[in-house]
Structure 1
Amino acid sequence: MSRRKVLAMASCHSLILLDGTIQGDPLDLKMFEGTAWGPVEAITVLRQFPFSSSLQRMSVVAQLAGDSHFHVYMKGAPEMLARFCRPETVPKNFSQELRNYTMQGFRVIALAHKNLKMQKLSEVESLAREKVESELTFLGLLIMENRLKKETKPVLKELREARIRTVMITGDNLQTAITVAKNSEMIPRGSQVILVEANEPEESVPASVTWQLVENQERGPGKNVSE
């Protein structure tokens, strides 16, 4: 794994150290643990632009010990993050690779980076988020497997038998969510999935609702993923 990817994973999170224990979002914690971060290199987070479900991303401005310049690291939903990267840095097979992993139920996060062309901390403190989150270099995809708990399928079955409706609310990639729902049998075998998209009105374009049948593809063979 490249050094910049490790630095992005080590700095772009919302974890805190409380009573000697690292606490925060479980996904952030697993990501940080995966860096095997130690005291060899110090990195200071100077600004943080937090994650939100509407923005689908978070970013930080950080500085490495001994460096005179600053770095921006971003993580987020791959489709969203790619919009903030220079097009030539995003692989041509980006969409296909993303689909390959989400079809297998993996949780996929994208990472990006850029150097800030400024020397003073005061300049960093006054930066707008729009300035920070632009012209980034795409670093790659972080692939994480979140296996079903052994009790998930039996509980869902019990709820169905009791005629209690179950729903999934998630910020994951749509295809990842569909694959997990099928593997847990939340979506019964043989069922068809329809994607409904609502669009707000824009100037002369009226509001609209579209329906699309999601392809019924079974989960492919697993892959060993190193990054």
Structure 2
Amino acid sequence: REDALEAFRQPLPFLTTAVMAACSGLTVVEGEVVGDPLERAALQAVRWFMVSPELTASRVGRGADRLQVLSRFPFVSELQRMAVVVRHQGPGGGYLEGA
């Protein structure tokens, strides 16, 4: 069992954590992150935090990673996906999360 759990202790690739941090329905209201409890837990687990509804930052890893949400396309159940267009310390990029 310990060997099986070891895989979960390995650091996740940057893009994996960036998608988890940027592709969510979370927002900040009066300084508090609000939204789906599972998405809040995922954000904490990958050690990112929300600065504002448009800005998410990393606590660890490569330094001062910040993702600025430029556009957000909400989850559509028929398509089973949502999308965001983000800027990561430079040119914009897109991250997509699907079910």
The answer, yes or no, to whether TM exceeds 0.5 is yes
2:53 matches 1:42: no
Describe the superposition over 1:126-167 as per-residue Cα deviations: whole angstroms up to 9, x where unpaired: xxxxxxxxxxxxxxxxxxxxxxxxxxxxxxxxxxxxxxxxxx
TM superposition shift of 1:27: 2.2
The residue aligned with 2:96 is 74
**% of aligned pairs identical?**
33
Within-5 A mapping of 1:184-223: none
Within-5 A mapping of 1:59-138: 59-65=83-89, 67=90, 69-77=91-99
The letter for the 2-side match of 1:57 is R
DSSP-derived class of the 2:33 partner = strand
DSSP-derived class of the 2:96 partner = strand
Distance 1:75 1:27 in 2: 15
Describe the superposition over 1:75-130 as per-residue Cα deviations: whole angstroms up to 9, x where unpaired: 111xxxxxxxxxxxxxxxxxxxxxxxxxxxxxxxxxxxxxxxxxxxxxxxxxxxxx
Distance 2:43 2:77 in 1: 21
Gaps of 5+ in 1: 78-227
**Cα RMSD for the two superposed structures:** 1.4
The letter for the 2-side match of 1:53 is S
The letter for the 2-side match of 1:9 is M
TM-score (structure 2 length as normaliser):
0.68
DSSP-derived class of the 1:14 partner = coil
Distance 1:63 1:15 in 2: 18
Runs of 4+ in 1 over 3 A off after TM superposition: none
The residue aligned with 1:52 is 76
2:37 matches 1:15: no
The letter for the 1-side match of 2:79 is L
Q: Which has the higher contact order (CA 8 A, sep 6+)?
A: 2
TM superposition shift of 1:32: 1.2
The letter for the 1-side match of 2:66 is A
TM-score (structure 1 length as normaliser):
0.31
Bigger fraction of residues in strand:
2
Distance 1:60 1:31 in 2: 17
The letter for the 2-side match of 1:45 is V
2:59 matches 1:29: no
TM superposition shift of 1:57: 0.6
